[in-house]
Every structure is written in C-alpha cells, then in structure tokens.
Structure 1
Amino acid sequence: MRKSTRESWLTDLYLIFFLFWVSALAFGMAATRTDYLLINTLFLGITVCLILFTYFWGLITGLLINLAFIFAQVVIVLYATQVDQTVVPWVLAYWLFVPLLLSLSFYGATDHTRKLQAQNARLQSDLVERGAFDEDTNLRTMVSYIEDTAVFTETNRRFDLPVTTMIVRIRYFQEMRSMVSDSQLRELLKLVSQTIKQAMRTNDITYLIDRSNPTWSVLLFTDADGASIAAGRIKTNFTKALAGNDVLANLDVRLVVGVASWDPDKMKTPYDLMNAGIKETEYDV
C-alpha cells in the first residue's frame, strides 16, 4: 500500500512538472512569436519528437537524443557567431533545456503510471490465486464464504440475529454442459451472478463457491422465510434476463435454490450450513 501511494504521488509530481514546463514553453514562444516564428515552429516539432522518442524508446535513448539536440544547437550558434558573424539572441536559450525537461517529466509521469498499473494487476492476480475472488464474475469464492460464515455465526451467537444461507444452482447443469460453449458458460456465470446481486440487499454478500458445478451462495441476516422471498425474486428476474440475452436466449436454463438457517445446536462449522443449503436445492422443484 505504501509503495502504491508513493507511485501515485510521484506520478502527480511528474505531471505537475510537465505542465509547468509546457507553460514555460508556451510563454517563451509567445514572447518570441513575431520575430522567430519559423525557429519556434521547427523546434516545437522537434520537441514533440523528442518526447515521443523518450516515451517509446526509453529514458537512456531519450537523454542521448536530447543531448544531441542541445549539442546541435550549440554548434549552430557557434557557427553563426564565429563564421557568419550573426548575433543569436539569448531569448531563444530556453530551447536548450525545456525540451529535455519536458521529456524527463513526461517519461517520469508515464513510467510511474505503468508501475501503478503493474501493481494493480499483480494485486488482482494475487487475489485470484489465493481464491478470494472469482476472475470472471468478481464474486468472492469458497475461501471468503467460509471465513465470512464464521463471522456471521458469531454475530448470531452474540446478538441473536438470524443467519441464513441461500444456495443457487443451475438445474441439470451436468447434462447441459456438453451443449454449452465456453463463451456461453462465461456469459451464463456472469448473468446469474448479476441477477443474484441485483436481487439482494446491500448488506447481503454473494459468492461463487464452485465453478465446475456452478454454485452460488448468499449470506443473509434474515430467517428462512425472508430468504425464500428473495429466492423467488431471483428466479423471476433470471427468467426475464435470460430471455433478453442474445447469447443465451436459445438455452433452457432454470435455477434451483436451497435455503438453510444456522442452527447452533445442530451445526458446528460453516460447512454444515453450506451443506444444508446444498441439500435443500434437491427439494426445489
């Protein structure tokens, strides 16, 4: 977290530097636009190229090209003053250092942005590898379900709040799996997940606890009757959503739902509650 915050601050700092030097360049060009329009236009184009070279080819290459541009300017000035006896105005001196500073600040901002993106990608990958979240649906998985169930049941013990789990499965999934493509399966998982989440309250937590035989679970602070009402809402909403989905409209998909409440006298572990809910799906006809 600290490293991510540091990269974010550095990104903002380099971006501020870049905007500052853009403003300085604009001010310098505005001050000399009448007498040196051709030189300003030419050097502006070169500056843009230098920034792009630094971005695409790396910092070292960008620095070398910028130093070559500075050296070329110095050579031109020496030739003009020593050979042609031409006076080169000092007002154009900002072209010696502003392109280099623009290249450095732009590269710094984009480099630290890429590092932030890489950190976010690694974090997401770690969460998936540890089984905390499903990659396609972004739902919590079995690992989180077991941990959260322990918290829910402890709340039940302390405050006597009813705790219920709802298990949702696809009817006859094993039989229909051979008729469903991988892309359709991913779309189906997303559709069921969205339907369940939209049908639940904000404090109800939805999980995808099994992908091989798609099984969703919801933890609720309510009794079995309240969960049954939510189960009916899920089935109704899913039927409507399925009919409106172009990818899945030709499939006959139905959901089965099992509801089980926590019983501290009969249940000892979170698996007992989950298995009770799975058992109830067999009676949903």
Structure 2
Amino acid sequence: MINNDQRDSIFQDVALLVFLLLFSAVAVLMTISGHSLVNVVSLFCTVVLLILTYFLGLIPSLLANMVFIAGQVIWTIYQYGNNHGVITWSLLFWLVMPILLSLSLYAMTQTQVALQQANGDLRAALVERGAFDQQTNLRTTVAYVEDASVFIETNERFKLPVSTVIIKIRYFDDMKRMMSENQLNVLLQLASETIKDITRDNDITYLVDNEDPTWAILLFSDEEGANIAADRIRAGFAKALAGETRLSSLAISMVVGIATWDPEEMNNPYDLMNAGIRETQYDVS
C-alpha cells in the first residue's frame, strides 16, 4: 500500500516528466514555426511566468498567464488586420504552452514542499521524543538505551563482543567558566563532528549528556578494538583542535572510558554506559 510520502514522490516525478516533455515540445514547435524574434520574446515571457509561478504560487501565475494570453490575442488581431486576414497559425502554441508549463511546475514544487514538510515533521517528532540532539544531530540517551539493547541481544545470540566508548572533555566544569557561549558551541560542534567522522560506519555515536558534554559509541568489538577506536578519536580531535583558532588559547583534551558488556555483572544498557563513565575518571593519558 502506497503511503502519502510515496504518493507525493511519484506525483513529483510525473510532474517533472510532464514539465520536461512540454519544454521539449516548445523547442520543437519553435524550430518548426521559424519566427525567431517572436519565439525569443515569447520564450522570455514564459520564463518570467515560470519564475512568478515558483515564487508567488498558482493564483498570481494564472493571472499573469491570462495577461500574456490577452496580449497575444490583441497582437494576433492586429496582425490579422494588417495582413489582410492572414493569421500565423504556427505561433498559436504560445497561447497554451506557457500555462501548461506553469501548471506542471506548480504541481512539481507543491509536492516538493509537501515532502520537505513531511521530513521536517519527522525530524521534529524525533527531536521531541528525545531520539536526536537538536544542536548536533547526534542520537541521545534514549536512542543509546534502545540500540544498546539490540547490541546486547546480538551478543547473547551470536557471542559478538559489545563495547562502549565514553568520551568527555577533561576539566569541563572548570573550563566552561573561562569560555564564551560561542566557544562552548564551537567546542561541542567540533568534538561531535570529529567523533562522528572518525568512527566506522557501523559504530554509532551518541551525545548522552549535553550539560556536561558526554559522547558514547557502541561497537561490536572487544576492549582492544575499542582502545584502537579511542586512540583514533583522540588523535583526530587533537588535529581538528589545532586548526580551530577560536579555541587555540585553551588547553582542551579528551578523557575516554571503555567498558565491555559483561552479562554476569551487568543487567541493562544503563549498567554498560555507567561503567564507561566511571572509567573516564581513571584516564590520565
């Protein structure tokens, strides 16, 4: 069964094809008619009508098309009187093509707006449910707990090792007193983008605490593999930090804690996350 988004997407594709076919037909008819000057002027007017359709909507477009048609009719009557009853029939396609092009463009843009609105509503719903952090677009604790449950179940079924890497900013509570609001935002964004870029595609990154910035990564890996990932993140963050002039006056570094799922000592995803957070206290590297 086709949902609304799929229907809108299909309708947009159909409208685009119709728009392209109509423009192709205009090109062919312009070539056949042979009246270069009139065709160029009419094409320019049609482009103006399409711009009006795109930016102002259907009603202003229809009104402008009516004015354009009225102008053509008056010009045709004038030519009819001066040419002793002769009408240039090959140019009459300009009476209908502009309005058909405007209608197809309007249909295409309307479905595009509907799709964008649907995507915006979905994003807002996800943010409202707490699944995504609005500032960094990273998943939050809500998503971490849900995804960790899947990781843990996979561990139980297939015996794949599951680890979490917890990342914090060293001495953040003291440091934020010396930083402006802009520097705090830059630091949060820089760390989030670095962690997200360096982790592998199948490793998922989360921002589990926004007040005391705390990032988490879930990995199908043992402690050794998690340490390798942590070292890459440290090196990548140091390199990115060196290129950020707005933070150059501050001595910023990361602390990392690593915990591996242990079914004998842990009961739920919170135990795994909290074990990783505790390990950050012992990171002196």
Same fold (TM over 0.5): yes
- Paired position in structure 2 for 1:197: 196
What is residue 178 of structure 1 aligned with on the other side?
177
Counterpart code for 1:5: Q
Cα distance, 1:21–1:165 mapped onto 2, change above 3 Å: same
**Cα deviation code 1:212-247 (max 9, x no counterpart):** 100011112223333233323322332222112223
1:198: how far off?
A: 4.2
Unaligned runs of 5+ in 2: none
Alignment partners' CA distance in 1, 2:69 and 2:193: 58
Distance 1:264 1:148 in 2: 17
Measured after TM superposition, the shift of residue 96 of structure 1 is: 1.3
Answer yes or no: is 1:275 the counterpart of 2:261: no
1:200–1:51: structure 2 CA closer, same or farther, 3 Å change rule? Answer: closer
Q: 1:21 is matched with which residue?
A: 22
Closer, same or farther in 2 for the Cα pair 1:73/1:160, shift >3 Å? closer
Query: Relative to 1, partners in 2 of residues 1:195 and 1:52: Cα closer, same or farther, differing over 3 Å?
Result: closer
- Which residue does 2:238 correspond to in 1? 239
User: CA shift at 1:84, angstroms?
Assistant: 7.0
What is the TM-score of this pair, normalised by structure 1? 0.89
- 19-28 vs 64-73, which deviates more? 64-73
Whole-angstrom CA distance in 2 between matches of 1:108 and 1:140: 36
Partner of 1:111: 110
Correspondence for 2:258: 259
**Are residues 82 and 136 of structure 1, via their aligned partners in 2, closer, same or farther at CA, if it must alter by over 3 Å?**
same
Cα drift, residue 155 of structure 1: 1.9
Distance 1:116 1:246 in 2: 39
- What is the match of residue 138 of structure 2? 139
Shift of 1:171: 0.9
Q: What runs of 5+ residues in structure 1 fail to find an aligned partner?
A: none
> What residue in structure 1 maps to residue 162 of structure 2?
163
Return the offset for 1:53.
2.4
State the match for 2:73 in structure 1: 74
Question: In 2, distance between residues paired with 1:278 and 1:64?
Answer: 65
C-alpha deviation, 1:169, in angstroms? 0.7
SS across alignment from 1:56: helix
Amino acid at match of 1:98: M
Cα distance 1:239–1:3, how it changes in 2: closer, same or farther (>3 A)?
same
Deviation at 1:75, TM superposition (A): 4.0
Question: Aligned partners of 1:234, 1:79: CA distance in 2, in Å?
Answer: 76
How far 1:98 moved relative to its partner? 0.9
Q: Which residue of 2 aligns with 1:48?
A: 47
TM-aligned CA deviation for residue 278 of structure 1: 1.0
Q: Show the counterpart of 1:100.
A: 99
C-alpha displacement at 1:109, in angstroms? Answer: 1.8
Matched residue type, 1:95: W
Q: Report the residue type matching 1:155 in the other structure.
A: T
SS at match of 1:242: helix
**Which stretch of structure 1 is more off in the superposition, 123-132 or 76-85?**
76-85
What residue identity is the alignment partner of 1:246? T
Q: How many pairs align? A: 283
Identity score, percent: 51
TM-score, normalised relative to structure 2? 0.89
Q: SS at the partner of 1:247? A: helix
Per the alignment, in what secondary structure is the counterpart of residue 252 of structure 1?
coil
- C-alpha distance in 1, partners of 2:122/2:27? 40
Task: Provide closer, same or farther for how the CA distance between residues 240 and 37 of structure 1 changes in structure 2, counting only shifts above 3 A.
Answer: closer
Alpha-carbon distance in structure 2 between the residues aligned to 1:203 and 1:271: 21
